[in-house]
Structure formats: structure tokens, C-alpha cells
């Protein structure tokens, strides 16, 4: 399957078969890495990594991954580049295309901005554009999530249930892209998806429609409920995390204040008992400990957050290896 030059902006842009190829290669690269086998699939290639937001796992998985593939990654802070002075996505995309082999962008803070920016860069760039998280999707994270779930439950996930739930966090109004990416992707690969959130913390309506469409096409279920308890009931996978109010991203302090009404939306031992005994707890990290989740759960036997985080390296490498 030839995927060279293909942009990776949303998982919805890729067919199930193409995503399966990404997962297959990610598995190969993980095995190579674990066994100390060199796997320099991108010798002398250059990736430009443009960040409009902070990062730990994403920056390091791409940067370390590019090194392990034999290439080099450049970190670019939007605030210290000419973008902060108004350089256009078109000009930046064309110019960097002449310098290297891939452009990766994180632009996730405000609904309606990030995905649009990535697609404008991609329209003019002559090299693949990779989404390191935007306002709509976090396709590197959710691919790693799917890889992790398959490592635990096998590739046939038919009938397995994932609970994607809002949870309280006081730190900042987090993007909606992870839960949106999860409901879009997992409904395509055999999982029944239940989304839970307080009434003010809805996701983008077009993403809800997309999840419903994917569920119908792939013979899975998708539903929205208004409590964590309802979502967690008999779940195989629980994925509680915070996100901001869609109407208040321009006023993050108000979003955080509003969220205080729902401090009881926390993943604890009592809630985990509602899910299946062998269920797993997942989070994209960083988690707001003892707000989103108790220490007992995130550090407990059902937590797979470190396996999940590790798989970010291997899926990012697969994306780069196949597209660049």
C-alpha cells in the first residue's frame, strides 16, 4: 500500500484499510525497537514540527521517532517564528516544502481554527502535513489508543464497549479533540461507543453526526448519556477526561468556573466497579490526578496509561515512515 505523500489530518480522511496498514507497521516498529534492531526507514529526511500549544508526549514521540527512523526533526514554536508576525499558512507551507519532507502541526486551542489551518497548509505544501492535534481530532493519540486496546483484547473488538466521558479538571479548558477523535475512530473498528458529559460540555455537532454515521456503516452502536455511571456500566474500556465548554473557549476562566458544578465527575474505585472486572482505564495524559481520576485508579491494576503513552512513539513512527 503506497501512502507516500498522503496527509494525516483526521483519521476520518483515511480508509479502514489504510489505518490497518498504519497499525501493522506500528507493530513492526515496536518489535524492532524492543529488540534493538535498527529501522532507519527515513534516512536523511527532515520533519518540521510547528507548535501553537505546549507538548510532552507528542513532541518527544515525533522527535525521538524521527531520530530512530534515521532522520531529523526541527522544533518550531509559533511564537518565535514569523507566524507570530502574520506569515500565511500558504507561504509557510510552500517554503518548508522546499526545505524538507514533512510538516507536523499542533494547533488545538480554539474551535474552528486548528483544522482549518492544517488544511490550508496542506493545500499549498508539496510534502505531507501531519496533525499533532487540532481542534477537531488528535489522530496520533487515538491511533495509539486503538493499538493499545488491540494489544489487550485482540484485533476483533466486535461487541466491546468503550465509555468516553467528561471528567472534572481545574487546570485549564482542555481541547475537545481527544474525545472527538475517539468516538470517530472506535466506532469504525468494532467498538460500541458511549459518550457521557454534562449538558454544557457537548462536543461539536458535526463530530457527533460523523460518529453516528460510522457506527451505522460498521454495525456498531453509538449513544450519548448524561452520567459517568451510565457510560461505565459493563464497559470494557473507560476513558474519562476533561474538556472545555465549546461556547467558552474564548473565555477559559468562565469554562473552568462552570466546570466546578461537576466536581463529582471523577473516576474512582467505586465507578470502576460499575465497569467490567477486567476493564481497562485509559487516559491520553497528563491527567489531573485526584480531579479527573484518583491515584488508586490511575496507578491501579486496570490502568494502561503508560503502555498507551509508549505506543504514541510507535504509531507516530508508522505515520512518518509511511507518508514521508
**Tens digit of each residue's pLDDT (9 = 90 or more) over 237-293:** 999 999 999 999 999 999 999 999 999 999 999 999 999 999 999 999 999 999 999
Closest alpha carbon to 128 in 112, 144, 139, 143: 139
Indicate the DSSP class of residue 163. Answer: E
Res 167: pLDDT: 98
| Total-model pTM | 0.97
Question: CATH topology for 11-138+312-323?
Answer: Rossmann fold (3.40.50)
Closest alpha carbon to 59 in 43, 44, 76, 45: 76
**Tens digit of each residue's pLDDT (9 = 90 or more) over 149-203:** 999 999 999 999 999 999 999 999 999 999 999 999 999 999 999 999 999 999 9
Res 28: pLDDT: 98
Per-domain boundaries in the chain:
11-138+312-323, 141-308
Closest alpha carbon to 126 in 104, 95, 105: 95
> ω into residue 193 within 30 of 0, thus cis?
no
Q: State whether residue 241 is helix, strand or coil.
A: strand
**Tens digit of each residue's pLDDT (9 = 90 or more) over 3-14:** 999 999 999 999
Which architecture, in CATH terms, is 141-308? 3-Layer(aba) Sandwich (3.40)
Contacts of 97 (CB under 8 A, 6+ apart): 103, 124, 125, 126, 127
Amino acid at each position: 500500500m503506497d501512502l507516500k505523500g498522503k496527509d494525516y489530518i483526521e483519521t476520518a480522511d483515511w480508509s479502514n484499510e489504510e489505518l490497518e496498514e498504519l497499525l501493522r507497521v506500528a507493530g513492526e516498529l515496536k518489535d524492532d525497537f524492543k529488540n534493538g534492531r535498527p529501522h532507519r526507514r527515513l534516512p536523511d529526511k527532515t520533519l518540521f514540527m510547528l507548535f501553537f500549544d505546549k507538548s510532552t508526549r507528542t513532541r518527544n514521540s515525533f522527535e525521538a521517532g524521527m531520530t530512530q527512523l534515521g532522520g531529523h526533526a526541527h522544533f518550531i514554536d509559533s511564537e518565535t517564528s514569523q507566524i507570530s508576525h502574520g506569515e500565511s499558512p500558504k507561504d509557510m507551507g510552500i517554503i518548508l516544502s522546499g526545505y524538507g519532507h514533512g510538516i507536523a502541526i499542533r494547533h488545538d486551542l480554539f474551535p474552528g481554527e486548528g483544522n482549518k489551518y492544517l488544511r490550508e497548509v496542506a493545500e499549498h505544501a508539496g510534502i505531507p502535513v501531519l496533525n499533532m492535534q487540532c481542534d477537531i481530532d488528535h489522530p496520533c493519540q487515538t491511533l495509539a489508543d486503538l493499538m493499545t486496546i488491540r494489544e489487550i483484547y485482540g484485533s476483533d473488538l466486535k461487541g466491546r464497549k468503550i465509555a468516553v466521558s467528561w471528567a472534572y479538571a481545574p487546570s485549564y479548558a482542555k481541547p475537545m479533540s481527544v474525545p472527538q477523535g475517539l468516538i470517530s475512530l472506535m466506532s469504525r473498528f468494532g467498538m460500541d461507543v458511549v459518550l457521557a458529559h454534562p449538558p454544557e460540555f457537548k462536543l461539536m455537532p458535526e463530530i457527533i453526526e460523523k460518529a453516528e454515521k460510522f457506527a451505522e456503516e460498521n454495525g456498531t452502536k453509538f449513544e450519548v448519556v448524561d452520567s459517568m455511571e451510565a457510560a461505565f456500566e459493563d464497559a470494557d474500556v473507560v476513558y474519562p477526561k476533561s474538556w472545555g465548554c465549546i461556547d467558552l473557549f474564548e473565555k477559559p476562566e468562565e469554562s473552568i468556573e462552570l466546570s466546578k458544578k461537576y466536581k463529582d465527575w471523577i473516576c474512582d474505585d467505586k465507578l470502576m466497579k460499575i465497569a467490567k472486572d477486567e476493564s481497562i482505564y485509559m487516559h491520553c495524559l497528563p491527567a489531573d490526578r485526584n480531579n479527573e481520576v484518583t491515584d488508586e485508579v490511575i496507578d491501579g491494576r486496570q490502568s494502561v496509561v503508560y503502555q498507551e503513552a509508549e505506543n504514541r512513539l510507535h504509531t507516530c513512527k508508522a505515520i512518518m515512515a509511511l507518508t514521508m
